[in-house]
């Protein structure tokens, strides 16, 4: 079910027909403020776990966890975006997808979605915005808007995702900081041009890895490993098994709650101090939001953590949004930052 939602979104980006290679030159010489290379600003962007958590659906209760888990996994934005404009052509690529060129003339074209439905798709561009739209039955309704802000130094991407299973569309806003006015497409392999009506149909299945906001198969594997690590880390915490816990930490922590640049030995000492006075540790973690950065070398993981601690001093409980930052070395992931970023109660 959730897969259909994502495929509809991808279709809005990838199913734009028209002669991209023979597009006419725009009649205006106004510069395109969106052109350049961008890096995600996590702090100023919507938190995916909050957006998905607040969504309501008509999916049976027993299937909702899988439905929203799939949404959370697949809707995570890329950490890098690149945009290049030339006349009424626009090329878009990301850290998870190659360069694709679209004809952005604002004309509506009929396409056939992966479900076989006839949909109307359009790509429109002006000096400071680009909009991808697809309208059709149910899940084929998608809108993605790129808007230049702060005089061209930043960009806001707003995605509106529709589905028959959702009571109302999911709206996710992601903010990107411009890091360069030019694009080095060598960083975005396998560049392609959107096919024309005269090209042979591309029979390759459209997957999240083919779209601007998709997640590569490698990052999907990483996400699976990180979720397994999170579960093992939580289990070790609840057992008060400090040696097992410490296997997940880097030798030096960039941040550990209110402290900065501390050795692993101090983290161990702090955990020993806290656990020594506790009889019961009950930590539960919600589905994590995972954003990969640095070309998959690091990952920001955020999740809702419920805790209940019982000991000599009494019982303490609460709910927070916790953030773990992971660093990859080979196939191993280790925590280099641990902190609470929001107290819910």
How far apart are alpha carbons 149 and 336 in whole angstroms? 32
pLDDT of residue 152: 92
Structure tokens given for 340: 């609470």
Which pLDDT score, from 0 to 100, does residue 141 have? 73
- For residue 258, what is the domain's CATH number? 3.10.450.50
Range of the domain at 106: 2-215
Out of 46-50, 138-142, 220-224, 267-271, pick the least confident.
Answer: 138-142
For residues 276-291, average pLDDT:
89
At residue 125, does pLDDT exceed 50? Answer: yes
Average pLDDT for 266-281: 93
**pLDDT for residue 33:** 93
pLDDT of residue 2: 34
Q: Are both 173 and 250 inside the same structural domain?
A: no
Q: Same domain, yes or no, for 32 and 144?
A: yes
Final residue belonging to a domain, choices 166, 186, 215? 215
Does one domain contain both 146 and 160?
Answer: yes
Find the helix or strand (DSSP H, E) in which 53 lies.
Answer: helix 48-54
SS3 content of the chain, % helix, strand, coil (to 5): 25, 40, 30
- pLDDT attached to residue 22: 31
**How many Cβ atoms are within 10 Å of 179's Cβ, its own excluded?**
11
| Same domain? 223 vs 197 | no
Could you tell me which residue, 278 or 296, shows the higher pLDDT?
278
Task: With a cut of 80, say whether residue 28 has pLDDT above it.
Answer: no
> What's the whole-model pTM score?
0.54
How many separate domains does the chain show?
2
What mean pLDDT is predicted for residues 58-86? 72
Least confident of 83-92, 199-208, 238-247, 335-344: 199-208
Of 195, 215, 235, the position where a domain reaches its end is 215
- Residue 185 in this model has a pLDDT that exceeds 90: no
Least-confidence region, from 6-10, 63-67, 180-184: 6-10
Q: On the CB side of 282, how many CA atoms lie within 13 Å of its CA?
A: 11
Domain boundary residue, one of 215, 240, 270: 215
């Amino acid at each position: 079910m959730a897969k259909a939602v994502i495929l509809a979104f991808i279709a809005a980006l990838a199913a734009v027909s028209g002669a991209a290679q023979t597009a006419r030159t725009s009649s205006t010489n106004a510069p395109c403020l969106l052109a350049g290379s961008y890096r995600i600003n996590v702090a100023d962007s919507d938190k995916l776990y909050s957006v998905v958590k607040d969504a309501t659906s008509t999916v049976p209760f027993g299937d909702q966890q899988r439905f929203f888990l799939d949404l959370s996994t697949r809707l995570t934005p890329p950490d890098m975006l690149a945009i290049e404009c030339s006349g009424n052509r626009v090329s878009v690529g990301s850290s998870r997808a190659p360069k694709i060129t679209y004809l952005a003339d604002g004309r509506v074209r009929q396409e056939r979605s992966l479900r076989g439905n006839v949909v109307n798709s359009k790509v429109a561009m002006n000096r400071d915005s680009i909009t991808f739209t697809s309208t059709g039955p149910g899940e084929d309704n998608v809108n993605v808007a790129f808007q230049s802000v702060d005089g061209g130094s930043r960009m806001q991407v707003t995605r509106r995702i529709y589905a028959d299973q959702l009571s109302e569309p999911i709206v996710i806003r992601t903010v990107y900081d411009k890091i360069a006015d030019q694009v080095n497409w060598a960083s975005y392999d396998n560049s392609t041009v959107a096919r024309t009506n005269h090209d042979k149909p591309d029979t390759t299945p459209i997957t999240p890895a083919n779209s601007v906001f998709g997640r590569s198969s490698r990052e999907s594997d990483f996400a699976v490993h990180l979720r397994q690590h999170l579960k093992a880390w939580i289990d070790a915490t609840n057992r008060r098994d400090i040696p097992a816990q410490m296997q997940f930490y880097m030798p030096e922590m960039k941040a550990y709650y209110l402290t900065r640049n501390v050795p692993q030995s101090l983290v161990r000492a702090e955990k020993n101090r806290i656990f020594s006075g506790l009889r019961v540790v009950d930590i539960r973690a919600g589905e994590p939001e995972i954003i990969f950065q640095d070309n998959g070398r690091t990952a920001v993981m955020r999740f809702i953590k419920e805790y209940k601690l019982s000991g000599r001093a009494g019982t303490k409980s609460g709910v927070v949004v916790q953030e773990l930052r992971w660093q990859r070395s080979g196939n191993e992931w280790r925590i280099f930052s641990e902190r609470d970023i929001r107290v819910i109660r």
